Amino acid sequence: MSPLAIQIIKDEHLAISAVLYTLRYLVKGMRKGARPDFALLKAILDYIVSYPDRWHHPKEDKYLFSAVKRRTHDADALIAKLEREHQLGYPMVEALKVQLLAFQHEDDGAQARFFDAAERYAELEWTHLQTEEEQLLPLAERVLTAADWKEIDAAFEENDNPLFGIKPKEEAEALYQKILSLAPAPIGFGGHSPT
Ligand SMILES: [Fe+2]
Ligand SMILES: [Fe+2]
């Protein structure tokens, strides 16, 4: 049985992947002439800001990556790459939010810029999640001790922290439900891939 934190990380990756998939699906459809659903696109960007960016990636940096770095130098290059990707993701999402507004205001070329940036972002994140699952998590399972996992599990298990007025899980869940309810039926019901 994998450590609890690994199960939680994989579950969070699944939810993030579903949202990235929805974003790619929508862009693909719009490229073929589908009407943009701005409420859904905005909900997707809000979700990325409130969950992966504010919650998931920082916990990986602070607890998982730092614990692995304490135990081995074998993963230093890999972790540096993953940390760099976390850092790259934040400004990309901020730019996407601005590009979405420009697209909505029908600024010159804004639609194409949004499509390209959204696809680039989804690709970067998707590859990032895969690299963590295929390379970092198995390595972490090999080098970390039960005591290390206890601390990491506790961090990932922690839900909302009312002391700091932070309710990321609750916020993310509400946004996730909104995305599912707004998404076209093939996505909302977990259907086929876009062609
Ligand atoms: Fe990550
Ligand atoms: Fe991750």
- Using the predicted structure, report yes or no on whether residue 158 has a pLDDT greater than 60: yes
pLDDT digits (tens, 9 = 90+) for 31-42: 999 999 999 999
pLDDT digits (tens, 9 = 90+) for 71-110: 999 999 999 999 999 999 999 999 999 999 999 999 999 9
- Using the predicted structure, report yes or no on whether residue 157 has a pLDDT greater than 50: yes
- Separation of CA 130 and ligand 2 centre (Å): 9
The CATH homologous superfamily of the domain defined by 4-188: nmb1532 protein domain like (1.20.120.520)
The whole-number pLDDT of residue 191 equals: 42
Q: Which has more pLDDT, 29 or 185?
A: 29
The whole-number pLDDT of residue 1 equals: 76
Q: Which has more pLDDT, 178 or 145?
A: 145
Q: What is the DSSP string of the chain?
A: ---HHHHHHHHHHHHHHHHHHHHHHHHHHHHTTPPP-HHHHHHHHHHHIIIIIIIIHHHIIIIIIHHHHHH-STTHHHHHHHHHHHHHHHHHHHHHHHHHHHHHTT-TTHHHHHHHHHHHHHHHHHHHHHHIIIIIHHHHHHH--HHHHHHHHHHHH---BGGGTB-HHHHHHHHHHHHHHHS-HHHHTT-PPP-
Residue holding tokens 């690994």? 6
The whole-number pLDDT of residue 173 equals: 80
Annotated domain spans of the chain: 4-188
Average pLDDT over residues 135-156: 95
- Separation of CA 178 and ligand 1 centre (Å): 24
Ligand number with the minimum distance to the CA of 9: 2
* Ion ligand 2 contact residues with beta carbon within 5 A: 132
**Residue 193 pLDDT level (bands cut at 50, 70, 90):** very low
The whole-number pLDDT of residue 195 equals: 43
- Separation of CA 53 and ligand 1 centre (Å): 9
The pLDDT mean for the chain works out to 89
The whole-number pLDDT of residue 159 equals: 60
Q: Which has more pLDDT, 119 or 53?
A: 119
Longest pairwise C-alpha distance within the chain? 56
How open is the CA angle 58-62-66, to the nearest 5 degrees?
A: 135
Average pLDDT over residues 44-49: 90
